[in-house]
Amino acid sequence: MNPFDWLSELLARFQDEHILVQRGSAIALAPAHLLGIDPEDWGRAAQTAAAYDCRWAGIWAEERGETLQVNAVLVRNGDHLVLRTAIPAGAPRLDSHTPYFPGADRMERHLRDLFGVDFSDHPDPRRWSRHNRWPEEAHPLRKSFAADQAPLPPQPEEDYAFIPVQGAGAYEIPVGPVHAGIIEPGHFRFLAVGETVLNLEERFGYTHKGIEKIAEGRDAFGLARLAGRVCGDTTVHHAWAACMAMERAARLAPPPRAVALRALLAERERIANHLGDIGAICNDVGFAFAQYQFSRLRELWQRDSAACFGHRLMMDAVIPGGVAADPDTPQLQRLRDGNARLRQELPGLYPILDDHPSLEDRLVTTGVLAPETARRLGVLGYMAKASGIDIDLRRDHPYAPYDHLPVATPLFSAGDVAARMKVRMEEILHSLELLDKLLDELPPGEVQRDWRAPAADSEGLGLVEGWRGEILTYVRFGSDGRVARFFPRDPSWFNWPALEQLIHGNIVPDFPVCNKSVNGSYSGQDL
């Protein structure tokens, strides 16, 4: 299949709907295509794209003088299409994409909260990122809002309108944002009858850090460091996506050794998190043996990372123009030994997970995400692969160095907790193969190219397959070579809403294991 061979068909459909397409560009945001459309066509364009089986992959805005520029991303066959429109900054009003793409709900509310964009037919009027105690007129991403003002004192949000409980025997269970374990803050409101969950609502935003605001005015290296802190467990992938966006804006290609090392870091991150998740899923059903074994493997793995890249999570290893660390021969040998250890230990552990009847009893048929629901919400990564959706950027839209690596992806259709665990188990093995290949064929040479500030107004899109799924990062530089706009879109934006769906009909005590199998990032989507 050729890239974008579907675009002419979509454009024809747009034409049938009298949607006027202007200023198309295949290079401004390469490898994505950019299409300018009129604001009044915004909703109908989404409707047409939804009917044409496109996936919705994100929305962000930027205040540019008198206008507010809004971008939305549509994906088909792994090709990304950016729709762009401009609305007056004084009275920003736009049709919502949520009626056609349910996954757009929270990101549009995020946009409404932070820019004051009025989405005319958005089904949910409640705030999302900007909790209710913020003044109505405060829109933090507007230029008129000063980033350095004193923050409001912390105070709980009390008037968020959860769906009220109705009916005999139904009751609410509020959980969080303070939990018994050491996890990130998030609030879950259950409606239950007996032990059966009727409905679940998530309330996030407790780790809102103003990432998008404080990115403004940073230099490239500062932005890479910030991107590495969007979400701690995805630090490599977020930094890579940001650097990829900046390098594309600056028309700068990192050297081959740096590209290979980035993939090495990324696959190590994938394996570390998958190991941790498998153990955590087992622990949530009281199977502590697996938890301790996988925690041990993860710990040893992270110690190798620390020894070779200076940080257990490999933070700040990816920098604009290349990578910060160049492991020497003994360090590379240590990484090879780490691979060998995993290859030796996993065949002993996997059969236990596969064959254990009491584990199977808990995980199989628990928290089923139907493929149709998964598709409608646009879920990503292991969530998609467990529900029969075969997407992986590394294979569908290969970026260096995956363009010459054999990427195999697991695919399951059951959509339950067991399938999500199995995807992780398989991905660890695939990543090990990639790592072996990367280590064997590590190109020689430099690992960093000198960074040069890009031309004013240049922009770029970073697209990488993070361990949770596709990460999409937009960066635009201002006239001084500093960042004017940064928007990292974590896959959790789409995977969290799936949790609300897959828990229906399950029992309350099964929620933790369902939640762990989704393992959305709070920080990554609170921004």
Partner 1 sequence: MADYLNPQGWLLALLQTLLFVAAAPLLVGWIRLLKATLQNRRAASPLQPYRDLIKLFGKEPVVADTASVIFRAAPYVVFSTTVVTAAVIPLIAVNLPTAAIADVIVLVGFLALARFFLALAGMDVGTAFGGMGASREMTISSLGEPAMLMAIFTLTMTAQSTNIAHAIDFMLSSGFVLRPSFMFALFGMLLVAVAETGRIPVDNPTTHLELTMLHEAMILEYSGRHLALMEWAAQLKLMIYGVLIVNVFLPWGIATRLTPQALLLGLVTVLVKLMALAVVLAVAETGLAKMRLFRAPEFLNLAFLLALLGMLSHVILEVGA
**Using CB under 8 A, which of the segments 126-134, 252-260, 351-359, 459-467 binds partner 1?**
351-359
What proportions of the chain, in percent to the nearest 5, are helix, strand and coil?
45, 20, 40
User: Which residues, numbered 293-332, are part of the site for partner 1 (CB under 8 A)?
Assistant: 293, 296
**Using CB under 8 A, which of the segments 58-66, 246-254, 383-391, 505-513 binds partner 1?**
505-513
CB of 291 to partner 1, least distance (A): 8
The H-assigned helical ranges of 120-255 are 211-215, 220-227, 235-250
String marking each residue 159-198 x if it binds partner 1 according to CB under 8 A:
------------xxxxx---xxx-------------x---
In the structure encoding, which two tokens stand for residue 454, read together?
A: 């890009």
CB of 464 to partner 1, least distance (A): 32
Reduce the DSSP state of residue 170 to 3 states and report it: strand
Q: How far apart are CA 225 and CA 468, in angstroms?
A: 20
CB of 289 to partner 1, least distance (A): 5
The H-assigned helical ranges of 251-380 are 256-284, 288-309, 329-355, 357-363, 371-377
**Nearer residue to partner 1 within complex by CB, 366 or 458:** 366
Give the pairing type, strands 459-465 and 322-323.
unpaired
Q: What is the DSSP letter of 198?
A: E
**Nearer residue to partner 1 within complex by CB, 439 or 508:** 508
Applying CB under 8 A, among 44, 229, 311, 356 the residue interacting with partner 1 is: 356
**Nearer residue to partner 1 within complex by CB, 82 or 417:** 417
In the block, residue with structure tokens 């998530």: 202
Applying CB under 8 A, among 54, 83, 114, 359 the residue interacting with partner 1 is: 359
Torsion of CA 527, 120, 377, 393, to 10 degrees: -60
Query: What residues does 383 pair with on adjacent strands?
Result: none
Cis upstream peptide for 512 (omega within 30°): no
Kindly report the number of other CB atoms within 10 A of residue 408's CB atom: 14
Is residue 30 a contact partner of residue 100, using CB atoms and an 8 Å limit?
no
User: Which residues, numbered 444-473, are part of the site for partner 1 (CB under 8 A)?
Assistant: none
The single-letter code of the amino acid at 13 is R
Residue in 180, 188, 227, 181 with CA at minimum distance from that of residue 204: 188
**Nearer residue to partner 1 within complex by CB, 47 or 366:** 366
CB of 164 to partner 1, least distance (A): 16
Applying CB under 8 A, among 120, 251, 292, 457 the residue interacting with partner 1 is: 292
Cis upstream peptide for 92 (omega within 30°): no
**Nearer residue to partner 1 within complex by CB, 77 or 295:** 295
**Nearer residue to partner 1 within complex by CB, 179 or 452:** 179
**Using CB under 8 A, which of the segments 213-221, 392-400, 427-435, 509-517 binds partner 1?**
509-517
Number of residues that bind partner 1 (CB under 8 A): 30
User: Which residues, numbered 194-223, are part of the site for partner 1 (CB under 8 A)?
Assistant: 195
CB of 70 to partner 1, least distance (A): 39
**Nearer residue to partner 1 within complex by CB, 23 or 296:** 296
In the block, residue with structure tokens 């900046």: 246
Q: Is 509 in the site for partner 1 (CB under 8 A)?
A: yes
3-state SS of 343-355 is HHHHHHHHHHHHH
Is residue 498 a contact partner of residue 179, using CB atoms and an 8 Å limit?
no
User: Which residues, numbered 261-290, are part of the site for partner 1 (CB under 8 A)?
Assistant: 282, 284-289
Q: What is the DSSP letter of 163?
A: P
**Nearer residue to partner 1 within complex by CB, 173 or 439:** 173
Q: What sign for the dihedral angle of Cα 35, 40, 42, 48? A: negative
CB of 508 to partner 1, least distance (A): 5
**Using CB under 8 A, which of the segments 136-144, 408-416, 489-497, 507-515 binds partner 1?**
507-515
Is residue 264 a contact partner of residue 314, using CB atoms and an 8 Å limit?
no
**Nearer residue to partner 1 within complex by CB, 333 or 358:** 358
Torsion of CA 70, 71, 74, 80, to 10 degrees: 170
- E strands of 409-480, at which residues? 459-465, 470-477
Element (H, E) at 62: strand 55-64
CB of 200 to partner 1, least distance (A): 11
**Nearer residue to partner 1 within complex by CB, 161 or 288:** 288
**Nearer residue to partner 1 within complex by CB, 25 or 199:** 199
Q: Is 510 in the site for partner 1 (CB under 8 A)?
A: yes
In the structure encoding, which two tokens stand for residue 31, read together?
A: 């490898």
CB of 194 to partner 1, least distance (A): 9
String marking each residue 224-263 x if it binds partner 1 according to CB under 8 A:
----------------------------------------
The residue ranges that bind partner 1 (CB under 8 A) are 171-175, 179-181, 195, 282, 284-289, 292-293, 296, 356, 358-359, 361-362, 507-512
